[in-house]
Structure 1
């Protein structure tokens, strides 16, 4: 199943223009840390981490 996902993301030039970013965020309810994972365009990576 992972091969299908990778194959669909890398078709043409569009697949390489996205980056998977992971940010650790503290939950306001429990105080525990959770991970926020998203696929964002390469030019928006810095904006993702500034939020």
Structure 2
């Protein structure tokens, strides 16, 4: 799967996207899990701010 993401990001249109990985704490267990999502480069700050 990682190879496909890397290959996609190297295309001309792939450079407009960024992969955002956030650590999210579970309220039930207190353990951290990681959430990954692909967002447009200009929306990265909005995504990290939770908007």
Q: Give your verdict on TM over 0.5.
A: yes
Unpaired runs of at least 5, structure 2: none
Q: List alignment gaps of at least 5 residues for structure 1.
A: none
Which of structure 1's runs of 4+ aligned residues deviate more than 3 A? 6-11
- Residue in structure 1 matched with residue 30 of structure 2 by the alignment: 31
Aligned length: 48
CA RMSD of aligned residues (A): 1.6
TM-score (norm 1): 0.74
Offset, 1:9: 3.9
Following superposition, the deviation at residue 28 of structure 1 comes to 1.5
TM-score by length of 2: 0.74
Larger Rg: 1
